[in-house]
A = this chain, B = another copy of it.
Amino acid sequence: MKLYKANILFTREKDRFEVIERGCVAVEDGRVVGVAVDESAFAADSVEAVIDYGDKLLIPAMCDMHVHAPQYRNQGIAMDLELIPWLNNYTFPEEAKYAEAAYAERMYRRFVRDLWRYGTMRTVAFATIHERSTRLLMNIFKEAGMGALVGKVDMDRNSSEALQTTVHDAVAANEALIAEFNVPGALVRPIITPRFIPSCSSAMLRECGRLAAKYSLPVQSHLSENPSEVEWVRELEPESRFYGDAYDRYGLFGQTPTVMAHCVYSGDDEIELMAKRGVLVAHCPTSNLNISSGMSPIRKFLDHGVKVGLGSDISGGHDLSIFRMMVYAVQVSKMHYQYSNKQSRFLSLSEVFWLATKSAGSFFGKVGSFEPGYEFDALVVDDSDLNFDGYTLPQRLERFIYLGDDRQIVHRYCRGEEVAEPKL
């Protein structure tokens, strides 16, 4: 058993931080044994090492619940378009480049290195349609020792020729990746990834649902991001009662663990079904702002018992930092509050921290908290440059979240192992 000593902050429940000044977390076999105010709480003869981080902060590592790895190069450019022209002019042409493995490797290594920088130790990622470069991305995550659910993207209509596959090829590529990576307990595993309803024929969606069920694999896709997209889905799947119902008919809406990105325009029926099926919302506030999507009703999801995590959504989003996503999630909820005549209470800091850690982490097992039995995913934060005037521990954390960046993150742990900077 190892003991990590520092100022410990985490969220067992969304409404408040657990704060233990100069406390310690006991870790064995990659999992938290317990948290205590001092090391005497643990039998001395079972402690093999004490790692003392002094006055630094020790917090759970971040989870990014929605990101397009192959849009890494487009991060921070072309922020002047709406969803559909942006897909056609920037996103699809860039993703087509991932047919070439050398390009994919160069970009994916940078992408994973940057996730590391910002303390994201668990990621739910879209790759592209390409089996080979998807395998590369999965191996780069494995090599780094960082957790990821990586989806080979399936799509066979309404996009550029270069990014469409046949259903047959999509299934074959998925089967190959599943055979290689679907190892119980592995840090890096496949996730079934129909791009979104408009990109997938009924046959493709049916096969995606079948694969998810056959291999008990999780599912990710996009949902109700944009009014014109919602309308388009209504036309494409006229028998569905609402967008989410279309996924549901193919077994892609909570039949296995499912994360749906955006959910800005989810109506009451959709929200009810998401709660019932345990579908997790990947809330991507920067993306929603950058692509003029709108404000996702996160308070409503929470009030209805829908699970929510945060996503960077590179490159609709421009920032890989999940800490920055927390700031934006609070801000967007405050805008919601203002424009709902103060009916929709805004999110607190502990709530968005909980979204990014324990709530999101539930998608990976027991991840995102320092409660006993949780995998030890953690960040050590040296905020000494921000802490020049006797702030309280919650204020220090708040200042790091609002003002800090990768410079303050000095150690990163995933499943109990310290994660070194991934090689480019």
Contacts and interface: CB of A to CB of B under 8 A. Distances in A.
Given A294-B338, A399-B75, A348 B80 contact: yes
A327 interface: yes
A298 to B, nearest CB: 15
Interface in A71-116: 73, 75-77, 79-80, 107, 110
Nearest to A394: B77
Contacts of A360: none
B292 A335 contact: yes
Interface in A233-290: 286, 289-290
A395 interface: yes
A315 B76 CA distance: 26
A206 interface: no
Nearest to A333: B292
Nearest to A403: B76
How many of these chains are in the complex?
2
A303 B75 CA distance: 31
A399 B77 contact: yes
A213 to B, nearest CB: 37
Interface in A4-32: none
B334 A402 contact: no
B389 A349 contact: no
A398 B76 contact: yes
A178 interface: no
B399 A292 contact: no
A80 B349 contact: yes
A289 B399 contact: no
A80 B345 CA distance: 11
B77 A391 contact: yes
A77 B398 contact: yes
A37 interface: no
Interface residues of A, number: 41
A289 B295 CA distance: 13
A407 to B, nearest CB: 8
Which has the most chain B C-beta neighbours within 10 Å: A73, A79, A295, A349?
A79
A36 to B, nearest CB: 28
Contact of A398 (B79, B286, B348, B402): B79
A39 interface: no
A79 B328 CA distance: 12
Interface in A321-367: 327, 330-332, 334-335, 337-339, 346, 348-349
A293 interface: yes
A318 B401 CA distance: 10
A405 interface: yes
A319 B324 CA distance: 12
A294, A327, A332, A391: residue with the most chain B Cβ atoms closer than 10 Å: A327
22 contacts: A75-B399, A75-B403, A76-B386, A76-B399, A76-B401, A77-B391, A77-B398, A107-B389, A110-B388, A289-B332, A290-B330, A290-B331, A291-B334, A292-B334, A292-B337, A293-B338, A294-B335, A294-B339, A295-B335, A318-B327, A318-B403, A339-B339
Given A76-B398, A294-B335, A295-B335, 6 more contacts: A76-B402, A77-B399, A110-B388, A292-B334, A292-B338, A339-B339
Interface of A: 73, 75-77, 79-80, 107, 110, 286, 289-295, 318-319, 327, 330-332, 334-335, 337-339, 346, 348-349, 386, 388-389, 391, 395, 398-399, 401-403, 405
- The 8 nearest A-B residue pairs measured at CB: A76-B402, A289-B331, A76-B399, A292-B334, A318-B402, A76-B403, A292-B338, A77-B395
